[in-house]
Amino acid sequence: MLSTHKLLINLNEAQTAAVTTDAQHSLVLAGAGSGKTRVLVYRIAWLLAAEGVSPYSILALTFTNKAAAEMRNRVAELLDKPANGMWIGTFHSIALRLLTMHHKEAGLPKNFQILDSEDQYRLIRRVISDLELDEKQWIPRSVQGFINDKKNDGIRANEIEDFGDDNSSTLIQIYQHYDDHCLRGGLVDFAEMLLRTHQLLLNNPPLLEHYQGRFGAILVDEFQDTNEIQSAFIRLLAGAKNRVMVVGDDDQSIYAWRGAKIDHIIGFKDVYANVTQYKLEQNYRSTNNILKAANAVIKNNAKRLGKDLWSEQSEGEPIQYYGAYSEYDESAFVAEEIEKLIDSGIDGDQIAILYRSNMQSRLLEENLLKHNIDYKVYGGLRFFERMEIKDVLAYVRLINNRHDDVGFERIINTPTRGLGAKTINQIRNCAQINQVSLWDALNICINNKVLSARASTSVAAFVNMIDEFDYNHDKEDLNPLFDDVIERTGLRDHYQKEPPEKALTRLENLDELLNAAETFVKSEEDDQIGMTALASFLAQVSLEAGERSSDKDVPCVQLMTLHSAKGLEFPYVFLVGLEQGLFPHQNSMEDPEKLQEERRLCYVGITRAEKQLFMTYATSRRIRGRTQGCAPSRFLREVPQDLVHQIQGNIFTTPRNTMFSNQESSPFAQYSPGILVSHKIFGEGTIIELSGQGDYTQIMVEFQQHGTKILAAKFAKLDIV
């Protein structure tokens, strides 16, 4: 058995008070890195070891599966035995468990099925069509958003106030029909999981009594990001007697767009009686410079509870600012700095790169690969593995080579062309019998009229479309082809229709793919063996996607969005793309509420860093195929200048046009912006900028005939004209 003394020596006074509290309800409201998660873990161990509480009476809720696994491990480590019997999980995983165990009471068949967002969308479309409504007026994605928002708020169709106008009555009707459909089919969407679990307990007094009797101790991490129904679920289980401990930080609330409400943490004391509040003010994670920077930024938010955070650690290194000429220069810098860190003996997994938007990963990935640095995209996919990117590439592969069966299979019905499994199987069978590619089989099927009339029309249109992409294999500029594919296949429209947040990410990724296509330059080797630019591009992409895929034993640099970095910590953090319009995000700049959420996101980002923080921005960036000048993010200026070392650029004093010093002495000193050069393949062009150092120096040239290209200085063999 664990000695309670051993437990408490690892906690400070305030933490000890929280861990050993005998208050019924407790709220730990404290800033980043002050040990909130640690308090929860130690509290569980304390309850078991000192108070003799049964593991069966513990219910601990966290935000992600990773956090739940981490919590389980940390408890087991402290207790020196597996954390059996306790329920530790995310809200969804706990809800799923309850629904499975009590499916009858919940009104679900034993083998009920979970509907993911895509399935839900499809079902909603069907309901709209069953009701003979026009999809143009009742846009399925908006209806989906409406239903989920209501469910997150715990509101059923029959509880929505009907104002009698056409709009609300119809939405209520669709919601009701959709729910009826789900019930008949035993289908449960994500929001439903939580709502139904809540109702399961609410409507079954004996069951509620059972669980209220069981979970004597309920603990919730990241409480600032709970939505209405999650908060009601906890309240219900708490009943009159159970003990609830919630921990969180109002400054880290970053999910308002998903229904999270900061009010739950602010109003906790009003909803629960006898709440003791604990403040943790010592930060154990970061150096004082990092902490001061974080505090200075968040201070600019109006709606705050306000907290003080201090650290016993030294000042540490200043925050490193790097103003890049462009996003290319930015990612080259990040990769070079990481290489230096790794060369100095630091493991890759001690380093994280955080960005606002998913699409920013592409260039970072490209530069890490160039430097042979192992990396992992956490909580997401590598750029070229993302669905929308693979869809476009599948079309392009088919255009490049009609017999690419993998590409064919992927897009024959994406976006949907109304082809059923039966038609697709007919094509597959035909291919097998005749030993030909799917493309040839499809043509055989059309000629022999074996498909249904409807399927025939649809696939004939598909064949025409692919044939019409008139790709000239000698072309070096791939952008027009990709652009054409994204528009004409309907992929852009297809992704546009997803729920707003998802659609935004996918469209940003598609635009980034266009950037990649435009700036692509085939390697000398590929050129020598006569590869076309397109073939070379596709080959490089396959290599990149396949390379170093999740080799578990290697300590990898972690890439992730700021949202998925919540709760995590890393000794070295690169916060990239700090520009107005990117971070704060374009969609949030005008709205004061949203701007404050962006700032909280920035606070989350800064406070992930333990030892050293790099913040980078680019003064120009290609967005939607156009190079635009970018202003440094307002958040950069909110950090006091004395905490900052500016490696390149100066955001505090110097006017923008003289912001940069000249390129350091480099082996490519003869090249500089404005100079006219000539290239073997692309002809003449003007140098726009240089980035990177030494052998990694890259030159961006605007060619008169072939658009903008980024070339490796070492291999480009540019002649000065």
> What backbone torsions phi and psi does residue 680 show, to the nearest 5 degrees?
-55, -45
566 is catalytic: no
Least separation in angstroms between residue 33's CB and ligand ATP is: 4
Nearest to 92 by CA among 61, 113, 67: 61
Looking at residues 151 to 180 of the shown chain, list those that interact with ligand ATP (rule: CB under 6 A): none
The residue from 189, 221, 225, 579 that is catalytic is: 221
Q: Could you tell which of ligand ATP, Mg ion, none binds residue 35, using a CB distance below 5 to 8 A set by kind?
A: ligand ATP
Find the part of the chain contacting Mg ion (CB under 5 A) among 318-326, 392-400, 566-574, 642-650.
566-574
Structure tokens given for 28: 């730990």
Among 43, 264, 285, 706, binds ligand ATP (CB under 6 A): 285
Find the part of the chain contacting Mg ion (CB under 5 A) among 567-575, 610-618, 622-630, 632-640.
567-575
Looking at residues 4 to 23 of the shown chain, list those that interact with ligand ATP (rule: CB under 6 A): 10-12, 15
Least separation in angstroms between residue 566's CB and ligand ATP is: 7
The residue from 600, 608, 634, 709 that is catalytic is: 608
Among 89, 316, 348, 567, binds Mg ion (CB under 5 A): 567
Least separation in angstroms between residue 38's CB and ligand ATP is: 4
608 is catalytic: yes
Q: Does 32 bind ligand ATP (CB under 6 A)?
A: yes
SS3 state of residue 385: helix
38 is catalytic: no
**CA trace torsion 563, 567, 573, 579 (10° rounding):** 30
299 is catalytic: no
The residue from 15, 37, 120, 287 that is catalytic is: 37
Q: Does 37 bind Mg ion (CB under 5 A)?
A: yes
Strand partners, 691: 698
Is residue 88 within 8 A of residue 64, CB to CB? The reply is no
The residue from 252, 505, 616, 697 that is catalytic is: 252
Answer whether the bond into residue 584 is a cis peptide, omega within 30°. yes
Find the part of the chain contacting ligand ATP (CB under 6 A) among 26-34, 302-310, 628-636, 660-668.
26-34
**Farthest-apart Cα atoms in the chain, separation:** 86
Q: Does 43 bind ligand ATP (CB under 6 A)?
A: no
Among 21, 26, 34, 295, binds ligand ATP (CB under 6 A): 34
Structure tokens given for 367: 């530069």
Strands 87-90 and 243-248: unpaired
Intra-chain end-to-end CA distance of the chain, in Å: 80
Q: Does 248 bind Mg ion (CB under 5 A)?
A: no
72-80: long-range contacts, CB 8 A cutoff, minimum separation 24: 74/41, 75/41, 75/44, 75/45, 78/2, 78/7, 78/41, 78/42, 78/45, 79/2, 79/45, 79/48, 79/49, 80/2
Among 284, 378, 471, 652, binds ligand ATP (CB under 6 A): 284
Q: Does 38 bind ligand ATP (CB under 6 A)?
A: yes
Structure tokens given for 81: 């035995």
Please give the residue whose beta carbon sits closest to Mg ion in the complex: 37
The count of residues interacting with ligand ATP (CB under 6 A) is 18
Is residue 178 within 8 A of residue 127, CB to CB? The reply is yes
Q: Could you tell which of Mg ion, ligand ATP, none binds residue 285, using a CB distance below 5 to 8 A set by kind?
A: ligand ATP
Q: Does 563 bind ligand ATP (CB under 6 A)?
A: no
Least separation in angstroms between residue 607's CB and Mg ion is: 10
Q: Calculate the alpha carbon distances from 38 to 125, 258, 276, 308 in Å.
A: 46, 26, 18, 19
Looking at residues 605 to 624 of the shown chain, list those that interact with ligand ATP (rule: CB under 6 A): 607
Nearer to Mg ion, 37 or 227 (CB): 37
Is residue 622 within 8 A of residue 327, CB to CB? The reply is yes
Q: Calculate the alpha carbon distances from 637 to 296, 385, 579 in Å.
A: 10, 36, 11
The residue from 15, 36, 505, 598 that is catalytic is: 36
Q: Which residue has the tokens 């201070």?
A: 299
**C-alpha to C-alpha distance for 429 and 445, rounded to whole angstroms:** 10
221 is catalytic: yes
Among 19, 25, 27, 37, binds ligand ATP (CB under 6 A): 37
Q: Could you tell which of ligand ATP, Mg ion, none binds residue 310, using a CB distance below 5 to 8 A set by kind?
A: none
493 is catalytic: no
Is residue 74 within 8 A of residue 82, CB to CB? The reply is no
Find the part of the chain contacting Mg ion (CB under 5 A) among 30-38, 42-50, 321-329, 407-415.
30-38
**C-alpha to C-alpha distance for 565 and 193, rounded to whole angstroms:** 25
Q: Does 697 bind ligand ATP (CB under 6 A)?
A: no
Q: Calculate the alpha carbon distances from 153 to 156, 204, 237 in Å.
A: 9, 21, 18
Nearer to ligand ATP, 78 or 513 (CB): 78
Buried b / exposed e over 57-95, threshold 16 CB at 10 Å, is bbbbbbbbeebbebbbebbeebbeeebeebbbbbbbebb
Among 189, 228, 249, 404, binds ligand ATP (CB under 6 A): 249
The residue from 192, 222, 225, 251 that is catalytic is: 222
Give the binding site for ligand ATP (CB under 6 A). 10-12, 15, 32-38, 249, 252, 284-285, 567, 569, 607
Which residue ranges make up the site for Mg ion (CB under 5 A)?
Answer: 36-37, 567
Residues assigned a catalytic role: 36-37, 221-222, 252, 608
